[in-house]
Structure 1
Amino acid sequence: PARRRSGRIYLGGVALSVLTSFGLSSTGGFNAGHALGILALLIVGGALLVPRLSFLGKARTYLAQLGFSFSFFLLL
């Protein structure tokens, strides 16, 4: 996904949305929205790392797509 233009746009959008959400919170402290944003960033990072793990075999593609889909779900 990071090789295609649409993938780079998605990754940039995820990073931008999570980072800007930290400053928009009006609760004054750490809340569930912050936790979901951090979790989404970790999952996207893992989804980018999975294709490099050769011991996963053919599951690498499916796990990477699952990670990107789950990050989208978390950001809804």
Structure 2
Amino acid sequence: MLSIVFGLIAICLGLWGLSNYWWYIVDVFVGILPLFLIFGGFIAVLAGIRNTGLTAKMKDNNVNKTEAHEADEADETNT
């Protein structure tokens, strides 16, 4: 029961603060919006890379380069 009362008081104070200081809310939103866009864009790019299979291609290229490098080192030690 006590938590319900404190919850209702918190809601009332929040609505009062929102109605009296709405311009601060807008300023915070304007400041945080670009950060959300950057973060969301980063996640979208990572999801796109994962779905297109570029990760597997990058890993294959790294494996091929490593194998070629190891083969070059083996040739140098044999000569």
Rg comparison, structure with higher value: 2
More relative contact order, 1 or 2 (CA 8 Å, 6+ apart)? 1
Q: TM-score range by the shorter chain?
A: 0.3 to 0.5
- TM-score w.r.t. the length of structure 2 is 0.32
- TM-score w.r.t. the length of structure 1 is 0.33
